[in-house]
């Protein structure tokens, strides 16, 4: 045992130097970590400032609840938008109008044909034939731009004008 004590005593300065070096390295690491912790604490306090919440967990829970509400509202709005888009496609919003003189001899262009169709070319064509004594109005249904009733040239022209506006 005395040999071991002699060995330790001979190298005591070396051992103390190594231990001091380790202590200084550990102190440097501790101060580095302390500095990083202080920076993190300042950033955390900046993030939490003005939220009225004391801890990050309750803030995250509140944000999750708000996000869920927004997603629900977004889903409702998306459904409403899709429903509206479907309805818009069936609106008879494309109109073509042709005015003409039905009898050609005298008078002016007081007769007309107007086509009102949707995106699938379904709708109606209205024709008004005017002469001095009377005025007649005819309505013909349209399916895909055609009718089960015969169409005049003016009615076909009105349908084509409406299709051009699609």
Q: By CB neighbour count within 10 A (0-12 exposed, 13-18 middle, 19+ buried), where does 43 fall?
A: exposed
Same-domain check for residues 104 and 155: yes
22 and 67 housed in the same domain: no
Task: Give the model confidence (pLDDT) of 28-66 as tens digits.
Answer: 999 999 999 999 999 888 887 777 777 778 878 888 999
Listed in sequence order, the DSSP H helices in 49-109 are: 56-89
38 and 6 in one domain?
yes
pTM (2 decimals)? 0.54
The range of the structural domain enclosing residue 118 comes to 94-164
Cα–Cα distance between 149 and 8 in angstroms, integer?
Answer: 118
Q: Which two three-digit tokens encode residue 121?
A: 């070319």
Angle of helix 12-48 versus helix 56-89 axis, rounded to 10: 40
Per-residue pLDDT of the chain (166 residues; tens, 9 = 90+): 788 888 888 888 898 999 999 999 999 999 999 999 999 999 888 887 777 777 778 878 888 999 999 999 999 999 999 999 888 877 878 899 999 988 776 667 889 999 999 888 899 999 999 887 888 999 999 998 889 999 999 999 999 999 987 7
Indicate if 24 and 69 belong to the same structural domain: no
Do residues 21 and 69 both lie within one domain?
Answer: no
């Amino acid at each position: 045992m005395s040999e071991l004590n002699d060995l330790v005593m001979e190298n005591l300065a070396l051992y103390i130097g190594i231990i001091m070096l380790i202590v200084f390295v550990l102190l440097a690491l501790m101060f580095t970590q302390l500095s990083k912790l202080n920076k993190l604490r300042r950033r955390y306090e900046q993030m939490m400032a003005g939220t009225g919440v004391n801890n990050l967990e309750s803030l995250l829970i509140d944000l999750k609840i708000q996000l869920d509400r927004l997603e629900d509202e977004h889903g409702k709005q998306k459904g409403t938008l899709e429903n509206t888009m479907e309805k818009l496609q069936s609106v008879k919003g494309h109109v073509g109008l042709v005015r003409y003189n039905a009898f050609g001899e005298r008078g002016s262009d007081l007769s007309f044909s107007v086509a009102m169709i949707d995106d699938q070319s379904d709708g109606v064509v209205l024709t008004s034939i005017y002469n001095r004594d009377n005025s007649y109005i005819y309505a013909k249904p349209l399916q895909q731009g055609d009718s089960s009733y015969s169409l005049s040239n003016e009615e076909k022209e009105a349908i084509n004008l409406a299709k051009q506006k699609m």
